Structures are given as C-alpha cells and as structure tokens.
Amino acid sequence: MAKATRSRLTEAALAELGPAKLAALVLEEAQANPVFRKRVTAALASMQGPEAVAKLVERRLSSLEKARSSIDWPKIKEFEKDLAATLATILDEIGPVAPSLAFDLLLRFLADASGVFQRVLASSNHLDDLYAQAATNLGPLAVRQAPAERASLPERVLAAANDGDSLASRMIGSMLEHASAAELETWDGLLARKVASVADAYRAYPYRQLRQDIAMRRDDLDGWIALERQKSDRVRDPLAIAEKLIAAGRAAEALPWLDSDNAAPVGFTDALDIADGVSRRDPRLRARVGLRARALETLGRKQEAQDLRWATFKTTLDPTVLRDYIAKLDDFAEFDALDKAFAHAVSARARYRALAFLTEWPRLDHAAALVIGSHRAWDGRHFGVLQPAADRLREAQPLAASLLYRAMVEVILARGQSEAYGLGVGYLARLDQLAPQLEAGAMAKLGRLTHADWRSAIRRSYGRKFGFWAAVGKASS
C-alpha cells in the first residue's frame, strides 16, 4: 500500500525524489515543451524579484502587440497554451507580491485582446474563457493597491476597454464589484461621460447597463429607473422596472409600467401554435401577468389578481399560470377549480395545446376524452406534438394512444416521408403492442377499423412503399 501511495503524483511523493531528480525531469520537459519552459523561466526569474519576471512578460506582450500573422486552426491550441502561461505568470508569480505591477501587465494583456481575436481565424471558446478570466481578476488586483494608486485606475481601465465589447463590460464589472463608495461615484461620472460621447446607441448600451449596476449597488432604484427611461423604446424593459418596484414595496408605481408593456414586437410560434393555426404568441405574456397579479395582491386587490390569472389561463392553457392561480385559492377550493380548468381544456379551440396541457399536467382521462372526441381531426403531420402525448397515454389510455399513433403512421405513408420511416415503424410497433389491450369493439364504436383490418388496409394502400415495409420486416425479425 505504501508503494502505491508513493507512485501517485502528489507534492509529498515528488518531494521524496529529491531536488536533483526533480531538476532533471523539469529540464527534460522544459526542453520539449516551450510553454512549460516559459513557466519555468518565469519561476527562476521570480527568485530575483517580481521586476525580473515582469520583464519576461513585457517582452511577450510586446511580441503579441506587434504580431500581425494569422493564427489558423492547427496553431490555435499552442497559441492558447502560450497565452495561458503568460496570464498565469502575471497572476501567480507577480500578483501575490506586486499587485500594482501585475495590474499594469494584466491591463496591457487585456487591451490587446481585440488584436488577438482579429488574428485568430478559428473560433475558440477557450480563448474567450481565458480573457474572461483575465478581466475578472482586475478588481481583486485593484483592491490590493494603495489608495493613491487606485485613484487613477478607473480612467485607465476605461481607456483600455474596447467600445461595445463584452470584455469591456467584464473588465469594468470586475472593478465595480470591488469598488468603494467613492470609486463608484467616480465610475458613474466616467461612464456618464462615455455614454454621452458615444453616438452609436448599440455601443453606448453596455456603458449605460454598467451605470445601472452602480445604481443598484448604491440602492438607488430611482436612479436605475431614470437610466432605463433613457433607453429607446426598442430596448427599454418595463417589466424589469415593474419587478424592481414591486420588490421595493412600490406596487402602485409598477402598474403603469405594466400597462406600457404591450405585446412584444417580436413574437414566437412553437409547434403547438403551428398545429393550432396560431400565427404569433407574446413571449412576455406570462411574466407580465405574473407581475401584475403580484402588484394587485400587494395592493390588497386579491380577487382582481385571481381573475387575471384565470382569464389568462383560459386564453393560453398555460400550466404555470394555472398553478399560480391554484396556489392562491382557499383550502379545498382547488378541486372545483381544477375540474373547471380541465373541462375548459377539453372544449378549447386550441386542441393541440389542450392535449399537451392535459397529458403534461397530467390528467390522462380528460386527455383521452379530448382525443377520442376529436378522433378524426388529429393531423399526423404534427408528430412532434402527437408523439409525446401518445407516449404518455399508452399505458393508461391505449385507445386514445392508438388513434394518435395511427394518424401519424397514415400521414408518413401518404406523404411518402422516407426520412420519417424509422418513426413510422416505431409507431406501428407500438400499435401492435396496444392492440390486445383494446376493448372488443372499441374502434368499431368510433367507426374505425380493428387493428388487424387497419394494418391490412394500409398494406394494400401503401404496399409500394417498399422502404417502409422492408424496415418493418427488419424490425420484426
């Protein structure tokens, strides 16, 4: 056991090798690995003091600043390792003993980021992470400097940051996180002037966001709102304003902002909407309703809040809205409310969304009633919607599941969707499994063929879909 422990790469185990053996191993690796050689050289230079290490880093930074050659994919890994070694030297070798010197080098390292990214021809998440790590270390290094030195840092960081760059926000954000009250005041003034000097709204946006971060750090909600008002209608966020006002106990002020947040200019349409023929859905509706309900409750208008939730559920069949509604009901009232909600879903015009709601809640008996009541109206083209519902219904409601699987198989065959034959074969296999579970005459009562007759019928109608039937035979063998 002792031998096994010594063979592990731990500091204690390596110490037992002795300095001569370790030195030989380090020298061997340094000769073969240029990046490791730079780390070792920096460590040796540190014995002469941080200034000696800084000279090595300065030479590397100068080389980076002057370089113009492109870096393609085969070279990117070694380049990343080289940059990582430079950053590690700044943070690990210089930072602990000379934070002011390390800050200067780190700021220079970050100031050249745009030049580096322009040279790199391949996208690199590791490179992004490397510069993000560098940016987040500015604040911790700044706070370790003497007050006289810290006074000039905001202007220097702002000058080094690239307008509209996400890295600029990280750099300044790191400084703000460690700033004193007086430094926050300085930063706010600098950023205000920066916003005023930048003509392009897109480039000014991150600086205004940083000013809002400062306002929140100072517990200045009115200042934050004033900055939000300055934004264009396209990017102003009334819901964010309302949410902060409600959290601050100012619900009455939140309501006008919620009134001003009309349907989002860019809606979205999901698979359920397409199936139901809905052309556009407001992505902010749930959030807006939730905030309005919270504001109304805070103001003592609880029934209005509940009426709003119920009306929204009836329109959207959104289970989250229904859960919020149920959570606010008196004890035992939820049972009647749920019965009313499920009955509404079964009769809703948006049948596909109703099916998804009932199967996901889950209330499979009502989902089955919806499927069976509309058994000839389900469009098998929407198998992205119907398959999850059928899969959830299989065990408890085999008849409803069978109707949905049939609809999907029939469409795949009728349209000759060879790319979907694999799905169709799977649906047919599930129908074969479900057939013995159906009550005798269940399909006949709906005017539908038995499973065996239906299988024969699709074989006659679509017998020339050779690829499909070959796949069926292969799956059965």
- Per-residue pLDDT tens for 170-219? 999 999 999 999 999 999 999 999 999 987 888 888 999 999 999 999 99
Residue closest to 364 by CA, chosen among 372, 333, 379: 372
Confidence of residue 279 (pLDDT cuts 50, 70, 90): confident
Q: What confidence score (pLDDT) does residue 102 get?
A: 96
Q: What confidence score (pLDDT) does residue 51 get?
A: 87
pLDDT single digits (tens) 292-319: 999 999 999 999 999 999 999 999 999 9
Give the whole-angstrom CA distance, residue 71 versus residue 64: 12
Please give the C-alpha separations between residue 228 and each of 57, 241, 458, in angstroms, as whole numbers. 42, 8, 62
Q: What confidence score (pLDDT) does residue 4 get?
A: 47
Share of the chain above pLDDT 70, in %: 90
Of residues 260 and 164, more confidence is placed in 260
pLDDT single digits (tens) 52-75: 889 989 999 999 999 999 988 888
| 341 contacts 322 by C-beta, under 8 angstroms | yes
Average pLDDT over residues 146-163: 91
Q: What confidence score (pLDDT) does residue 98 get?
A: 94
pLDDT single digits (tens) 349-388: 999 999 999 999 999 999 999 999 988 889 999 999 999 9
Give the whole-angstrom CA distance, residue 321 versus residue 304: 14
Q: What confidence score (pLDDT) does residue 398 get?
A: 98
Q: What confidence score (pLDDT) does residue 2 get?
A: 46
Confidence of residue 1 (pLDDT cuts 50, 70, 90): very low
Q: What confidence score (pLDDT) does residue 15 get?
A: 76
Q: What confidence score (pLDDT) does residue 448 get?
A: 95
pLDDT single digits (tens) 213-256: 999 999 999 999 999 999 888 889 999 999 999 999 999 999 99
| 452 contacts 458 by C-beta, under 8 angstroms | no
Phi, psi torsion values for 375, nearest 5 degrees: -65, -25
Give the whole-angstrom CA distance, residue 301 versus residue 416: 57
Q: What confidence score (pLDDT) does residue 12 get?
A: 77
Instruction: Please say if the pLDDT value at position 47 is more than 60.
Output: no
Question: Which residues lie below 8 Å from residue 289, measured CB to CB, with a gap of 6+?
Answer: 308, 309, 312, 321
pLDDT single digits (tens) 404-448: 999 999 999 999 999 999 999 999 999 999 999 999 999 999 999
Instruction: Please say if the pLDDT value at position 29 is more than 70.
Output: no
Residue with token string 């905030």: 291
